[in-house]
Structure 1
C-alpha cells in the first residue's frame, strides 16, 4: 500500500476548484462509510441523489473511480476521500472484506494485462511503404509552410535591423499578430517561439536585451534549419520538424519497433500545469529513470475542462516503459506501459555545484540549441537573497537566480522544509534561471 501525502494528492487534482471542493469533503462527518485494505480505499458519501456516491481508490497503482456524474477526474469525492485518509488515518477501519462494487472493480483492474498485446511485426515491404508515405506527408507539410518560413525570416531580420532599443515600444499585439500568421501558415511551433517575446519583461533592469537577442537567435537558427533540412543529420531533422509543429503521432510512436524504449523505475519529480490563451491545458510531468539515469518529459494536453488521464503520480516512483520521441537530445516520451508505484526510493546521483551544471548544460546546447527546460539534480543548495532577488547558492558559494515570477510561497516552503539548511534539489534549468521541483530532506523527497 502506498499512502500519498497531501502535496502528492493535490498534484492529482484536475484544477484548483476540484481541490478546494475535495478539501471541503475531507472530514469524516461527511461520509456515510469508509474503509481500506492494502490494495484499495473506498467510501460512500451522500450526494444530490437518493443513494450515496461510491468512491474508490486503487492504492497499489493509483487510480480513482466514483459513481458521481462529474466529468472531472479525479472528482472532488475521490480527492476528499484520499485527503481524509491521509489526515485521519487512525479513523479508518482496515478490512479484507471488500464490498461487491469495490471487489469487482479491483479484480477487473488486476485481470488486465500489465502490457499491451504486441501487434504482429510488419514485413519489410510494409515497413518501407509506411516510411515512404510518412516522408511524403512530411515533405508536403514542409512545402506548405515554406511561405510562412520566408515571411518570418524577413520579419526577424527587419526586427533586428531596427535595433533592440525598439523592442519595449512594441505592445503585445505586435507579437500576437506575427504568431497568428505562423499558425495560419501551419507552423504553430514558430508561432509559439514568437509569443515568447511578449513574456520578456522589458521594463525591469538590463537583462531583457540578452533575452530578446537569445530568442531572436533561436528563431533564426530554426529557420535556417528548415531551409537546409535535407543537409542536416536525421535526428536533427526530427528536432527541427518537431519545433516548427510537425509533431509525430503518439499512437504511431508507440507502435514503432525502431523507437527507443526504456523500462525502468521512474521517479516522478514534479508536475507543471498551465492554461494558455486558447484555453488549452498543458501538463508536464518530469521523470528520472533510476537505472537508466535518463530524464523524461511526459506532455499531455486537454481543451477547456476535459480531463487528463494521469498515469503517474508526482513524488512517487513508478514502474513503467517509456517510448522516446526521436531527436538529438531525446527528452519527451510517451508511456507505453505503467505498473505499480511506490513512495520509497533512494537519492539519485547529483552534481556538486553550478560549475558542473554549466558544463553539462553546454553539452546539451551543443546537441539541441533550442533547449529551454533541462531537468537536473544538485546537492547542498541554499536559498539566499542577492541584489533584492532570490537565488540558490551552491556549496562553493556561487549562485543561480530563480525566475522573477517564482511563487514566493514555494520559496517559503523550501525554507520551512529545510529549516534554513542546504538541501539536495531537483529543478529545471530555464535559460539563465532555475525552477525548483522538489527537495530531499532526511532521505525523503518533498514536492515544491
Structure 2
C-alpha cells in the first residue's frame, strides 16, 4: 500500500489555513468511515450539511475530489484523510469493495488517461485541417520571431548603454528602471530575457562590494545570449534549442509528446528530491527536481497554476514514482514532462547512487562540463556523499570528505540549519542539494542503507 509521511502531506496544502484545518480533521472520530485499496483512498466526513462529504484521493496519480463546496485543491478534507493515513495507516480499513461514487471517479480517471494515450498514438487528422493548422502555426512563429528580434535589438542597445555609463551606477537606478525594460521584453515575447533583466532587482547592493561580481556576471550572461541569438543559424541544432529556450520560447507539451522517441525519453523510478514554489502576478510556478534511481539522470518538472486552479501532476517530495519522462531538446537535457506515472511502493532495490559524487571537486568538474554545454545553466541538483555541516566565523559551510568547503545558500534558513544539525548530530550524511552560483542549497538527506529520503523542511 502507498504510505505517505506527514511532511509529504504538508507539502500538498494550498495554504496555511487549509493545512491547519486539515490537521484538525486528522481525527478518526470526526470521520463516518474511511477505506483504502491499491489505487484509491476514500472516506466520508460530517460537515455542516445533512449529508457527509465524500472525499477521494487517487493514490497512483495524486489527485483529489470532494463533495464539499471548497474551491481549494486539495481541500481540508482531502488533507485530513491523508494525514490519518500517514499517522496511523493501520486504522484505514482495506479489502472493502469500492462504492459506486468512488469506482466511477477513479475509473473515469484511468479511462481518460488511457484514451489520451490512445489518441496521441493513433490520431488521424483531416489533411485540409492539418494543412491549415500548419500554415497558421508557421504564421504565428514568423510574427513571434519578428517581435523577438526587435526585443533583442532593443535590449542589446539598453545593455551597452548600461555598461557605457558604468555598472557602479546600478544601485542608483531603482526597481522601476529594470522592471520597465523587463516589461518591454514580455511585450516582445522574450520572457526569458525579461526574467534575466529582473534579476538585477534581486542583487543585494548593500552587501559591500560583493554585488560587483554578480552584476558583471549577469550582464555578461545577457550579452552572451543576445549575441548567440543574433548568430543563431551558425550554431549546432541543440545549441539553437537552448538559446531559443533561454530567450523565452515555449514548446507545447502535446508537440513534445508527439515527437518523443528513445533519444529523449527515459523510463525509470524517480525520487522526487525537492520543490520550490513561487508566485508571479497571478501565476504559481512549481519547480520539482527528480533523480532517476537507475539512470542517475536529474530532471526538472515545471507545473503552473493560475490563481486558485489546482496543480496538475502533483508530486510528493520524498516519494518514488515509476514514470516515463520526455525531455525537452537541449545540449544538456534537464527540463522534462511526465508522460506516464504511478507511485512506487516497493523502493528497496530501486535506488542507485551512480549519480553521486564523493567530493566537491568531482561535482565541480561535472558542473564545468555542463556549463560548457550550456553557459546559462544554474540551479542544478547533485548528490554529494559524506558531507558535514560546519560553522566558521558565523558562516555555515558544508565540508566534504576531502576537507573542502562550500558555503550554504542564504535561502537555507536558520530553522533548516538547526533541523539538519539535529538530524545528523554533526556526523557525515549524503545530501541532495542545488548548486546555485557559488553556494549550495541542501534539499534532503539520502539514507542509502534503507533507501529512505528525509526532506529538510
TM-score under structure 2 length normalisation: 0.90
**Alignment CA distance shift 1:376-1:126 (3 Å):** farther
Question: Who is 1:265 aligned against?
Answer: 269
Question: Who is 1:431 aligned against?
Answer: 437
SS at match of 1:145: helix
Q: How does 1:29-428 map to 2 (within 5 A)?
A: 29-109=29-109, 116-117=117-118, 118-120=121-123, 137-257=140-260, 260-276=264-280, 278-342=281-345, 344=347, 345-349=350-354, 350-428=356-434
Any conservation in 1 of the 2:430–2:446 contact (CA below 8 Å)? yes
Q: How many pairs are equivalent? A: 447
Question: Who is 1:22 aligned against?
Answer: 22
**Alignment CA distance shift 1:304-1:58 (3 Å):** closer
**Alignment CA distance shift 1:148-1:97 (3 Å):** closer
**Alignment CA distance shift 1:213-1:343 (3 Å):** farther
Partners of 1:431 and 1:132 lie apart in 2 by 43
Partners of 1:57 and 1:308 lie apart in 2 by 15
Shift of 1:417: 2.1
SS at match of 1:198: helix
Shift of 1:207: 2.1
Partners of 1:132 and 1:348 lie apart in 2 by 48
Q: Report Cα offsets for 1:49-69 as digits up to 9, x if no partner.
A: 221111122344443222222
Partners of 1:206 and 1:377 lie apart in 2 by 32
Question: Who is 1:447 aligned against?
Answer: 455
Gaps of 5+ in 2: none
Q: Report Cα offsets for 1:99-134 as digits up to 9, x if no partner.
A: 343344445555666571112589999999988876
**Alignment CA distance shift 1:123-1:225 (3 Å):** farther
Shift of 1:235: 1.1
Shift of 1:158: 1.8
Partners of 2:323 and 2:134 lie apart in 1 by 28
SS at match of 1:116: helix
**Alignment CA distance shift 1:129-1:365 (3 Å):** farther
Q: Report Cα offsets for 1:275-299 as digits up to 9, x if no partner.
A: 12x1210001111222332111111
Q: CA RMSD in A?
A: 2.7
**Alignment CA distance shift 1:378-1:132 (3 Å):** farther
Any conservation in 2 of the 1:316–1:343 contact (CA below 8 Å)? no
Gaps of 5+ in 1: none
SS at match of 1:3: coil
Partners of 1:361 and 1:128 lie apart in 2 by 44
SS at match of 1:101: helix
Question: Who is 1:12 aligned against?
Answer: 12
Any conservation in 2 of the 1:175–1:194 contact (CA below 8 Å)? yes
